[in-house]
Amino acid sequence: MANKSQQQAYQQLAKKHIPKPDYLGNSLRAFLVGGAISALGQGVTNFYLSTGMAESEAGAYTAITMIFLGALLTGLGIYDNLAKIGGAGSALPITGFANTIVSAAMDFKSEGYVLGMAAQMYKIAGPVITYGVTSAILAGLVKWLLWG
């Protein structure tokens, strides 16, 4: 039986050997990939604005277009390669949200089209929608209670 100080010494030793993430490199790659996706989104928004759309409408169409692209590139296997480089830079834009749906759906295809694919595709998107809707409604309730 190892005593407490031995255990602590072992844990400290083990901690030293866990590889530290490359903070600077990861951040830089995330910045470049996330920035590039945002700039592309700006291009899509500018295109819709040039057709005479209102700002909010152009924003909604941009989101739909970027989701389409994210889903398509995931299907083609390109987005997952981008994710290896970009990390949060490819996961956190709205294209990354589409990526979580398509990749989960493809992974569970073999378990059937209803309880496999259609159920499992919301593995990450489900929590995102659940927490988003709940916090939005709570924010609305707080506003109503405070200001009517």
Partner 1 sequence: MDYLVAFLVGGVIVTIGQIIYDSTKLSMGHVMVLFVVGGSVLTALGLYEPLVKLTGAGASLPVSNFGYVLTQGVYEALLESGLPGIFSGVFRLAGGAIAAAIVFGFLFALLFQPRK
* Span 123-142, contacts to partner 1 by CB under 8 A: 123-125, 127-129, 131-133, 135-137, 139-142
Say whether 26 sits in a helix, a strand or coil: helix
Site for partner 1 in 71-100 (CB under 8 A): 71-72, 74-77, 80, 87-89, 91-98, 100
* Residue among 109, 111, 112, 115 that touches partner 1 (CB under 8 A): 109
Q: Is 115 in the site for partner 1 (CB under 8 A)?
A: no
CA angle 44, 49, 51 (to 5 degrees): 105
* Distance in Å, CB of 6 to partner 1, minimum: 25
Contact assessment for residue 119 and residue 59, using Cβ atoms and an 8 Å cutoff: no
Q: How many residues bind partner 1 (CB under 8 A)?
A: 78
- CB-nearer residue toward partner 1: 6 or 131: 131
Buried b (16+ CB within 10 A) or exposed e, 14-28: eeeeeeeeeeeeeee
Stretch that binds partner 1, among 2-10, 11-19, 103-111 (CB under 8 A): 103-111
Distance, in Å, from the CA atom of 8 to the CA atom of 16, rounded to the nearest integer, reads 12
Distance, in Å, from the CA atom of 40 to the CA atom of 56, rounded to the nearest integer, reads 18
* Distance in Å, CB of 51 to partner 1, minimum: 16
Site for partner 1 in 9-68 (CB under 8 A): 21, 23, 26-27, 30-39, 41-46, 56, 59-64, 66-68
Task: Using alpha carbons, select from 31, 27, 41, 29 the residue that is nearest to residue 97.
Answer: 41
What is residue 121's DSSP assignment?
T
